Amino acid sequence: MNELKKYLGIVWIALGPLAMVFMAWQAWDKISIAKPGIDTTNTALQWGIILLIFIPIAIGLVIFGKYALAGEYDKLPESSEEI
């Protein structure tokens, strides 16, 4: 199981940037097809907020993957003293 945890870490490391690229591509696509004027501003605002909140989450997923790869989750703490 610990081997699986480590190998999956690589998947999480890759998934973070991939998710961000997909989101950024979608943002670009949706903003570019919005009607000029307030519609474009509105779409840009929506996607701006989503990207703003998802960048730290994607970074978090990469860090999670890094921890998994380093074996940090091989044994979870069983009490607060171990944290």
| Residues lying near other proteins in the complex (CB under 8 A) | 1, 4-5, 8, 12, 26, 30, 37-39, 41-42, 45-46, 49-50, 52-54, 57, 60-61, 63-64, 67-68, 72-73, 76-83
Which of 57, 76, 74 lies closest to 12 in space, CA to CA? 57
Q: Determine the Cα–Cα distance for residues 39 and 30; give it in Å rounded to an integer.
A: 11
* d(C-alpha 59, C-alpha 67), whole Å: 12
What's the min distance (Å) between Cβ of 50 and other proteins? 7
C-beta of 24 vs 54, nearer to other proteins: 54
